[in-house]
Amino acid sequence: MCFSTCCLRPGPTHAAPALVSEAQPAAAVLSGGRYVAPPAAEPGLSAVVQSVKVSGYLNLLANTIDNFTHGLAVAASFLVSKKIGLLTTMAILLHEIPHEVGDFAILLRAGFDRWSAAKLQLSTALGGLLGACFAICTQSPKGVEETVAWILPFTSGGFLYIALVNVLPDILEEDDPWHSLQQVLLLCTGVVVMVLFSLLVE
């Protein structure tokens, strides 16, 4: 499901707010990943740029929380078995690689330069490490069953929420039959890939 989610999404998992109003196309221009005010900028430009930068920080916070849940899922899956752990890791990688590229683009549009955006994006990966450590540290003395009994449903629910609330409405609103066919094919491809992984991984 992670693979189909990242393939079907027109953008990253987290919705990006509007960056520049259509009514004021000359309010700011994008130059080298940074917003620069034109000479004839309107007085309200500073508020627009400030709100754009706030949206970048909000995206970083959301990405950190997202990575925390991924760390929970990976650690809990390896506690169950090596096979489930590898399958979960592969699914998250297929989901996260395009997702992180999209988040990096959001940071650039939010006013960060490339180096700052790369460092901040890399720092959000610490959320995954914290999630994995949390899952390991919360192991019950009675066994891993009690730990994974709540971690795996919690993280699985997050993926289901993304698929049903964010992805499915976009698919249903698609008017172009060719695009709809592409989305269905990508969905089926994601299912086939996960089935093949489950058969190949011992």
**How far apart (Å, rounded) are the C-alpha atoms in residues 155 and 71?**
10
Q: Residue 177's pLDDT band (boundaries 50, 70, 90)?
A: confident
pTM over 0.75: no
Instruction: Give pLDDT tens digits for 17-27.
Output: 333 333 344 33
**How far apart (Å, rounded) are the C-alpha atoms in residues 85 and 77?**
4
158: Cβ contacts below 8 Å, ≥ 6 apart: 69
CA dist list (Å): 191 to 11, 89, 147: 21, 15, 27
Q: Residue 41's pLDDT band (boundaries 50, 70, 90)?
A: very low
CA angle, residues 100, 101, 107, in degrees to nearest 5:
85
Residue type, 170: D
Q: Residue 64's pLDDT band (boundaries 50, 70, 90)?
A: very high
161-181 average pLDDT score: 82
- Among candidate residues 58, 56, 78, the one with its CA nearest the CA of residue 131: 78
